[in-house]
Chains A and B, each alone.
Chain A
Amino acid sequence: MSLSAEILLRLEMQDLQDRYMAAIDNDKLEDWPSFFVEDCLYEIIPKENADAGLPIPLVYCDNAAMLRDRVISLRHANIYAQPYYRHFLSGLSCRMVGDDRVEMSASYLVINTTPAGESQVYQAGRYEDVVVKTDKGWRFKSKRAIYDTSRVQTLLAYPI
């Protein structure tokens, strides 16, 4: 890959992650499933399980319908204090695998602000993502949020 192609790919991946995080951080949950292909995997899993090869996740969706269901449930069924997330991303690395597939990893930090106005580190971890090229642009084929902050404060409602 030429240097300019690498830089372009990196910019495109950064852009995808930025738009993904902005949708969640700005409470556009209904947009969240559209970052994925229909046949996708989305998972939030504690690092201690991932490292030990144990499968239990915090959230596990193996198609986009389950993502849309989670949004509907969060909007209409579940009761929780409205979270105010801010995502921060660093250490992004990505590589092209074939013509239309990218493997990407990055560290993330989510600061949550409670309704009382307290901002706290809610979750630190890393994304392990697979992104594919579709006719609508880049979409997540899989996104795994592998979190270090093993003790989830109170509950997890919104996606990471």
Chain B
Amino acid sequence: MNHIAISTRPAARDEAHFPNQDGSRVPYTVFNSPAIYAREQERIFQGPVWSFLGLECEIPNPGDFKSTFIGDTPVVVTRVEDGSLAAWVNRCAHRGAAVCRVARGNAMAHTCVYHQWNYTAAGDLQGVPFRRGRNDMTGMPKDFDPAKHSLRKLRVESYRGLLFATFSNEVEPLPDYLGPEMTRWIDRIFHKPIVYLGCTRQYANGNWKLYFENTKDPYHASLLHLFHTTFNILRVNMEARTDCDKNGLHGVLLSIKKEDSNADDYTKEKIRSYQEGFRLEDSSFLAMVKEYEELATNHIQTIFPQLIIQQIHNTLAARQLLPKGPDHFELVFHFFGYADDTPELRALRIKQANLAGPAGYISMEDAEAIELVQQGIIGDGASAASVLEMSRSAPDQRNSLISESLVRRFWVGYQKLMGFESASEIASSL
């Protein structure tokens, strides 16, 4: 009997095999393998990335806090007495219970209910009941040092009001992690003080990366989201601007409005979506107030791994993407406006929540499409792969919406971070 020989292979189950070097084939196993999901927690969410936690304007005052997640790990981000930011894993240093039990609040100290261990807002242990015992009871040993039992603290940084944290001591400072290709576009939106307008949450039966690649994929926009075309909103010949960071993990795409658009491109292609005749009775909520130098109907920017910045018409949101196991994710739309909004512009932003969100006219289909992928790939993960060929022969093109270039670049970056070699790399190393 040789049990060792029989059980040598299972470690390979967290491997994924990308047959092409350019990210144009993605093995479906990355979307449903529990082993790969576990490896992502370790290499991505606990690894050298900055994860988006929320907006600074959600916690404006000392003591304000919110509970959220980095990957699977529950974390709390809070503003401490001097106004600076702190974040810690929401797990008592004693027995592991969640310390903070509410979504939001204000507190200068946090107490675990289980044995009332008490922590400062910064996460330092400051009180242990019966530490010195009582009467004949001895309490904690003499060498128990509270300084060694703080909550697990994270590095926190914010960039123009966007809050990020990391478990990594090695990852570069946040502005370098974002990169100049991304900060110039973040600056476009976050160029003046913002105010928080509330959030909506969506829970989908799909892998988190399906949403991430969806938001890097302008090719689907006019084909899946038929509201645009049914009511004459977006046309295929809109001008695009796309870019990504040096690793391909972050990306940005803008649709620039061109005045001379017409319906020909759709009718020529006989795309199912174009129908003359449907008109909105009240299209006032689609108004667009020019706020930026360049008039873009959509500015969608992905910051790996937990953030998608959205400007659609005048609706502004930071979408927080939270993985919930290999086949579920939660998406939190954090809506905001500018502090100097006129009442009319603020009202328009609120009304345009009808456009993008879990019930949004031009966003509701994304979760539907993602769930269809998750359903379609069951049982065939390792041997089948998605096909990302659109505009592959023009890898440097930056002005087309009919492109899967950002998606391919993303998968190349993902492979590197996950330590997955592509077939051609293996071949060339032989």
Contact = CB atoms under 8 A, between A and B. Distances in A.
B219 interface: no
B224 interface: yes
A81 interface: yes
B358 A58 contact: yes
Query: Which range contains the number of B residues in contact with the other chain?
Result: 35 or more
Interface stretch (B48-56, B197-205, B404-412): B197-205
Interface in A59-113: 59-63, 65-66, 68-69, 72-73, 76-81
B370 to A, nearest CB: 9
Contacts of A152: 200-203, 358-359
Contacts of B202: 151-152, 154-155
Interface in B277-305: 278, 280-282, 285
A34 interface: no
A79 B199 contact: no
B21 to A, nearest CB: 34
Interface stretch (A4-12, A45-53, A129-137): A45-53
B221 to A, nearest CB: 13
B354 A56 contact: no
Contacts of A54: 196-199
Question: What is the predominant secondary structure among interface residues of chain B facing chain A?
Answer: mixed
A6 B414 CA distance: 65
Given A68-B281, A152-B359, A155-B359, A73 B227 contact: yes
A78 B364 contact: yes
A80 to B, nearest CB: 5
Contacts of B354: 57, 59-61, 66
Contacts of B326: none
A51 B164 CA distance: 26
B198 A156 contact: no
Contact of B226 (A49, A79, A157): A79
B353 interface: yes
B421 interface: no
Nearest to B334: A56
A52 B199 CA distance: 11
Contacts of B285: 66
Contacts of A78: 226-227, 361, 364-365
A55 B200 CA distance: 11
A97 to B, nearest CB: 26
Counting chain A CB atoms within 10 Å of each CB, which of B226, B359, B364, B368 scores highest? B359
B365 A80 contact: yes
Pairs A-B, 10 closest by C-beta atoms: A56-B198, A54-B198, A49-B198, A65-B281, A77-B230, A156-B359, A65-B282, A152-B358, A151-B203, A155-B364
30 contacts: A48-B103, A49-B198, A49-B199, A55-B198, A56-B197, A56-B200, A56-B335, A56-B350, A56-B353, A58-B353, A60-B353, A66-B281, A66-B285, A66-B354, A68-B281, A69-B281, A73-B230, A73-B361, A76-B275, A78-B226, A78-B361, A78-B364, A78-B365, A80-B368, A152-B358, A154-B367, A155-B202, A155-B364, A155-B367, A156-B358
